[in-house]
Amino acid sequence: MYAKGITTRDIQSHVQEVYGLEISPALVSQITGKIIGLAKEWHNRPLGAVYPIVFFVAIHYKVHDDGKVVSKAAYTTLAVDITGKKDLLGLWVSEAEGANLWLAVMTGLKNRGVQDILIACVDELKNFPEAINTVFPKTENQLCVIHLIRTALKYIASKDQNAFMKNLRAVDNAPTEEAARVALDKLEEVCGKKYSLSIKVWK
């Protein structure tokens, strides 16, 4: 609530109304002050040297800023470490998404100890892969599955999208690369003549 611009007195009223707890505006300020300090410490913590997969995504939110509702982009980096455990590496907030800010994010990750990212899972933002490869030149860039699906569906008539998606699930859920190739061949047999551009996206 504090991050969205709600005053400490309004937070006090909300907590009392919803939870029946009486707290002072000064306590709200103390709590947010502590959290901000912990958040800064977390945001600057050292990171691992190598991450097999990192998902880079900007999530867009409407927030209160100086009495106005504005759109902000929260740059999110979610990694899978070498043990297979998920780790949120950081969050950055900006007015909008752009490759230049992503370049600053990459530089920040490197400064915190990251030496290599094997696969970067990204969206279709222009110059995004170049921003990653400027800092991590050996990183493979892979389009996120959700964005692959959206791109494929752009070329398909709405009446045929459900049938296409049913066949596509066999590709996406395949247990091995070979099974995925067989499922993709089958998808091409069924939909290839009419929707070759969508098949090409998945190939």
Quick check: 106 and 115 in contact, CB under 8 A? no
Q: What's residue 192's pLDDT?
A: 78
pLDDT tens-digit readout, 57-95: 888 888 777 777 888 888 899 999 999 999 999 988 888
Report d(CA 120, CA 142) in Å as an integer.
6
One domain, residues 173 and 89 = no
Side-chain half-sphere of 114: how many Cα atoms within 13 Å?
A: 29
Residues 176-194: tens digit of each pLDDT: 999 999 998 988 888 878 8
19 CB-near residues (< 8 Å, 6+ apart): none
Which residue range(s) make up the domain with 176?
A: 146-202
Give the per-residue pLDDT at 98: 77
Domain ends where: 101, 127, 143? 143
Domain count, the chain: 3
74 assigned to some structural domain? yes
CA distance 92 to 107: 13
Contacts with 65 (C-beta within 8 Å, 6 or more apart), sequence order: 5, 72
Low-confidence ranges of the chain (pLDDT < 70): 3-5
Helix (H) or strand (E) holding 168: helix 161-172
User: Given this model, what pLDDT does residue 60 score?
Assistant: 82
Same-domain pairing of 138 and 156: no
Q: At what angle do helices 177-191 and 161-172 cross, to 10 degrees?
A: 160
Pair 139, 133: CB distance under 8 Å:
yes
pLDDT reported for residue 87: 95
Q: In this predicted structure, what is the pLDDT of residue 4?
A: 62
What is the pLDDT at residue 109?
96
Give the pLDDT score at 179.
Answer: 93
Are 61 and 119 in the same domain? yes
Residue with tokens 């509702």: 69
Of 127, 143, 159, the last residue of a domain is 143
- Asked if the structure places residue 93 within a domain, the reply is yes
- Spatial separation of the C-alpha atoms in residues 189 and 144, rounded to whole Å: 25
Q: Which H helix or E strand runs over 79?
A: strand 68-80
On whether the CB atoms of residues 134 and 106 are closer than 8 A, the answer is yes
pLDDT of residue 68: 79
pLDDT at 3: 64
136 and 59 co-located in one domain? yes
Residue 3 placed within a domain: no
Q: What is the DSSP code (8-state) at residue 84? A: S
